[in-house]
Amino acid sequence: MTQTYGYVRVSARDQNEGRQLVAMREFGIPDGNVFTDKQSGKDFDRPAYKRLMKKLKPGDVLVIKSIDRLGRCYGDILEQWRIITKERQAAIVVLDIPLLDTRQKERDLTGTFIADLVLQILSYVAQTEREFIRQRQAEGIAAAQAKGVRFGRPPLERPVMFDEVRKAWEQQKISATAAAKQLGVSRMTFTAWANE
Protein backbone atom coordinates (compact mmCIF):
# COMPACT_ATOMS: atom_id res chain seq x y z
CA MET A 1 0.00 0.00 0.00
CA THR A 2 1.41 3.38 -0.97
CA GLN A 3 2.01 6.01 1.70
CA THR A 4 2.22 9.81 1.76
CA TYR A 5 5.02 11.25 3.87
CA GLY A 6 5.86 14.80 4.85
CA TYR A 7 9.30 16.23 5.44
CA VAL A 8 9.78 19.30 7.62
CA ARG A 9 13.08 21.06 8.31
CA VAL A 10 14.15 24.14 10.22
CA SER A 11 17.77 25.24 10.47
CA ALA A 12 18.05 25.59 14.24
CA ARG A 13 16.52 24.17 17.40
CA ASP A 14 15.02 27.53 18.36
CA GLN A 15 13.20 27.95 15.04
CA ASN A 16 9.53 27.04 14.78
CA GLU A 17 8.39 24.36 12.36
CA GLY A 18 4.70 25.04 13.09
CA ARG A 19 3.86 26.59 9.70
CA GLN A 20 5.24 23.55 7.87
CA LEU A 21 3.42 21.11 10.19
CA VAL A 22 0.12 22.91 9.56
CA ALA A 23 0.70 22.58 5.81
CA MET A 24 1.33 18.82 6.22
CA ARG A 25 -1.90 18.36 8.21
CA GLU A 26 -3.87 20.38 5.66
CA PHE A 27 -2.52 18.09 2.93
CA GLY A 28 -3.88 15.16 4.96
CA ILE A 29 -0.62 13.59 6.13
CA PRO A 30 -0.95 11.75 9.47
CA ASP A 31 1.42 13.06 12.16
CA GLY A 32 3.17 9.68 12.27
CA ASN A 33 4.17 10.09 8.62
CA VAL A 34 5.81 13.50 9.09
CA PHE A 35 9.58 13.50 9.56
CA THR A 36 11.18 16.57 11.14
CA ASP A 37 14.81 17.69 11.32
CA LYS A 38 16.10 20.71 13.19
CA GLN A 39 19.42 21.33 11.50
CA SER A 40 21.07 23.03 8.57
CA GLY A 41 20.16 22.16 5.01
CA LYS A 42 23.80 22.25 3.91
CA ASP A 43 23.81 18.48 3.36
CA PHE A 44 21.52 15.45 3.66
CA ASP A 45 23.20 13.89 6.68
CA ARG A 46 20.10 14.39 8.83
CA PRO A 47 18.58 11.68 11.06
CA ALA A 48 14.88 12.15 10.22
CA TYR A 49 15.63 12.51 6.50
CA LYS A 50 17.62 9.25 6.56
CA ARG A 51 14.73 7.43 8.31
CA LEU A 52 12.32 8.83 5.73
CA MET A 53 14.48 7.65 2.83
CA LYS A 54 14.54 4.12 4.29
CA LYS A 55 10.70 4.09 4.28
CA LEU A 56 10.12 5.52 0.76
CA LYS A 57 9.10 2.88 -1.75
CA PRO A 58 7.74 2.94 -5.30
CA GLY A 59 4.43 4.79 -5.56
CA ASP A 60 4.84 6.68 -2.27
CA VAL A 61 4.52 10.48 -2.18
CA LEU A 62 6.89 12.87 -0.40
CA VAL A 63 5.46 16.29 0.44
CA ILE A 64 7.58 19.34 1.34
CA LYS A 65 6.47 22.92 1.94
CA SER A 66 9.16 24.53 -0.22
CA ILE A 67 12.28 23.39 -2.06
CA ASP A 68 14.67 25.00 0.45
CA ARG A 69 13.18 22.79 3.21
CA LEU A 70 14.61 19.83 1.30
CA GLY A 71 18.07 21.35 1.19
CA ARG A 72 20.24 24.36 0.40
CA CYS A 73 22.93 22.93 -1.88
CA TYR A 74 22.09 23.11 -5.59
CA GLY A 75 23.79 19.91 -6.70
CA ASP A 76 22.62 17.91 -3.68
CA ILE A 77 18.97 18.94 -4.14
CA LEU A 78 19.03 17.83 -7.77
CA GLU A 79 20.70 14.55 -6.80
CA GLN A 80 18.15 13.82 -4.04
CA TRP A 81 15.30 14.68 -6.42
CA ARG A 82 16.73 12.15 -8.90
CA ILE A 83 17.13 9.48 -6.21
CA ILE A 84 13.56 9.95 -4.95
CA THR A 85 11.83 10.12 -8.34
CA LYS A 86 14.01 7.76 -10.39
CA GLU A 87 15.63 5.25 -8.03
CA ARG A 88 12.92 5.08 -5.36
CA GLN A 89 10.19 5.76 -7.95
CA ALA A 90 8.31 7.91 -5.45
CA ALA A 91 6.56 11.19 -6.25
CA ILE A 92 7.42 14.61 -4.81
CA VAL A 93 4.98 17.44 -4.13
CA VAL A 94 6.32 20.94 -3.36
CA LEU A 95 3.35 22.75 -1.81
CA ASP A 96 4.56 26.30 -2.55
CA ILE A 97 5.12 25.49 -6.25
CA PRO A 98 2.30 23.42 -7.76
CA LEU A 99 4.35 22.98 -10.94
CA LEU A 100 6.73 20.78 -8.90
CA ASP A 101 4.31 17.90 -8.42
CA THR A 102 5.63 14.69 -9.98
CA ARG A 103 2.31 12.89 -9.42
CA GLN A 104 1.06 14.45 -12.65
CA LYS A 105 1.47 11.50 -15.00
CA GLU A 106 -0.19 13.22 -17.97
CA ARG A 107 2.66 15.66 -18.42
CA ASP A 108 3.97 16.04 -21.90
CA LEU A 109 7.63 16.64 -22.76
CA THR A 110 7.23 20.43 -22.53
CA GLY A 111 5.61 20.21 -19.08
CA THR A 112 8.40 17.94 -17.83
CA PHE A 113 11.04 20.27 -19.28
CA ILE A 114 9.47 23.32 -17.57
CA ALA A 115 9.21 21.49 -14.22
CA ASP A 116 12.88 20.42 -14.45
CA LEU A 117 13.89 23.98 -15.32
CA VAL A 118 11.92 25.42 -12.38
CA LEU A 119 13.52 22.84 -10.06
CA GLN A 120 17.00 23.81 -11.21
CA ILE A 121 16.29 27.53 -10.79
CA LEU A 122 14.82 27.07 -7.31
CA SER A 123 17.68 24.81 -6.23
CA TYR A 124 20.13 27.47 -7.41
CA VAL A 125 18.22 30.16 -5.50
CA ALA A 126 18.23 28.02 -2.31
CA GLN A 127 22.01 27.60 -2.48
CA THR A 128 22.56 31.28 -3.32
CA GLU A 129 20.46 32.30 -0.31
CA ARG A 130 22.56 30.03 1.91
CA GLU A 131 25.73 31.71 0.62
CA PHE A 132 24.21 35.18 1.19
CA ILE A 133 23.31 34.23 4.77
CA ARG A 134 26.90 33.14 5.38
CA GLN A 135 28.24 36.34 3.79
CA ARG A 136 25.90 38.59 5.83
CA GLN A 137 26.87 36.73 8.99
CA ALA A 138 30.60 37.21 8.28
CA GLU A 139 30.05 40.91 7.48
CA GLY A 140 28.09 41.35 10.71
CA ILE A 141 30.84 39.73 12.76
CA ALA A 142 33.53 41.86 11.05
CA ALA A 143 31.53 45.05 11.66
CA ALA A 144 31.01 44.16 15.32
CA GLN A 145 34.71 43.36 15.78
CA ALA A 146 35.62 46.71 14.18
CA LYS A 147 33.47 48.39 16.86
CA GLY A 148 35.38 46.52 19.56
CA VAL A 149 32.85 43.76 20.25
CA ARG A 150 34.65 40.63 21.42
CA PHE A 151 33.31 37.16 20.73
CA GLY A 152 33.78 34.10 22.86
CA ARG A 153 34.59 33.85 26.52
CA PRO A 154 36.60 36.61 28.14
CA PRO A 155 40.21 35.60 28.79
CA LEU A 156 40.89 34.08 32.21
CA GLU A 157 42.81 36.15 34.70
CA ARG A 158 46.03 34.51 35.78
CA PRO A 159 45.93 33.59 39.46
CA VAL A 160 48.23 35.55 41.79
CA MET A 161 50.42 32.51 42.39
CA PHE A 162 50.91 31.79 38.66
CA ASP A 163 54.56 32.95 38.53
CA GLU A 164 55.46 30.81 41.52
CA VAL A 165 53.77 27.70 40.07
CA ARG A 166 55.29 28.27 36.62
CA LYS A 167 58.75 28.54 38.17
CA ALA A 168 58.23 25.20 39.93
CA TRP A 169 57.08 23.65 36.64
CA GLU A 170 60.06 25.10 34.72
CA GLN A 171 62.39 23.61 37.36
CA GLN A 172 60.57 20.28 36.82
CA LYS A 173 59.50 20.15 40.46
CA ILE A 174 55.87 19.62 39.38
CA SER A 175 54.14 18.41 36.22
CA ALA A 176 52.00 20.61 33.99
CA THR A 177 48.95 18.69 35.17
CA ALA A 178 49.81 19.33 38.84
CA ALA A 179 50.51 23.00 38.09
CA ALA A 180 47.16 23.37 36.34
CA LYS A 181 45.40 21.69 39.26
CA GLN A 182 47.03 24.08 41.76
CA LEU A 183 45.88 27.06 39.68
CA GLY A 184 42.38 25.67 39.10
CA VAL A 185 42.65 25.72 35.30
CA SER A 186 42.95 23.12 32.55
CA ARG A 187 46.34 21.72 31.60
CA MET A 188 45.95 23.33 28.15
CA THR A 189 45.35 26.75 29.70
CA PHE A 190 48.35 26.41 31.99
CA THR A 191 50.71 25.35 29.17
CA ALA A 192 49.41 28.16 26.94
CA TRP A 193 50.10 30.72 29.67
CA ALA A 194 53.49 29.18 30.50
CA ASN A 195 54.61 29.26 26.86
CA GLU A 196 53.66 32.90 26.21
Per-residue model confidence as pLDDT tens digits over 9-30: 998 777 888 999 999 999 999 9
Gap between the terminal Cα atoms of the chain:
68
Higher pLDDT, 81 or 121: 81
Q: Which sign, positive or negative, has the C-alpha torsion 124, 50, 47, 19?
A: positive
Q: pTM here?
A: 0.61
**CB contact set of 19 (below 8 Å; sequence gap of 6+):** 65
Distance CA 122, CA 64 (A): 14
Domains and CATH numbers, the chain: 4-132 (3.40.50.1390), 162-194 (no CATH)
Rounded average pLDDT over 71-85: 84
For 175-184, write each residue's pLDDT tens digit.
999 999 999 9
Whole-angstrom Cα distance, residue 81 to residue 63? 12
Residues with a catalytic annotation lie at 11
Q: Which of 158, 2, 23 is nearest to 94 (CA)?
A: 23
**96-135: per-residue pLDDT in tens?**
888 788 886 555 556 566 677 777 777 777 778 778 878 8
